[in-house]
Amino acid sequence: MTWLLKLYPPRWRQRYGREFHDLIAPQRFSVVTVLDIIGGAIDAWTRPQSHLAAETAAHPEGGTTMLARMMRLRCAGHGEKPTIVDSVKGAGIILGGTLLAVLAATWMRRRGVDSIFSDTLLHSGWLFAFVLSMPYTSLKGWPRLTQAIFMGILLVLVALLTAGGTWISR
């Protein structure tokens, strides 16, 4: 997974690349780790990282532990973990979004819209809701801008895949 380091800005990689490599190298592949790394890359591009140098100087423990803490990397044992309330909110968004998708697909069928579109909405509506639930689960603790960019990219990818699948089915 160390190849994901290429997602970070060049100056960031120059300053923290070795520490980051040492932190990530022993990690086993998991979706949470990939989300952490991608979220950190978005954060590194959107926010100046000068605060990392100041934080490192302020904390004597230094090394990869300090970098993991500052970056909120859950895969390294740091960062905010979702509470039960957060999990309930995330589940509510997923269930509510899925219900809205089902209602919209039902309405589309009754209006005589081509069934391929309503079927597509039925099958992929939950995925849009899942992405929208991420601030309470997978992206908890990340800055709002990082969350918005991450979710926006995922929503566009889901929309493109869904539209592509619909186009191929027609």
Q: Where are the domains of the chain?
A: 2-76, 84-169
Closest CA to 55 of 63, 43, 47, 45: 63
Mean pLDDT of the chain: 81
Q: What digits encode the pLDDT tens for the residues 88-137?
A: 999 999 999 999 999 999 999 999 988 888 888 888 999 999 999 999 98
pTM metric for this prediction: 0.66
Please tell me the distance from the alpha carbon of residue 38 to that of residue 7, in angstroms, as a whole number.
7
Q: What is the pLDDT of residue 87?
A: 93
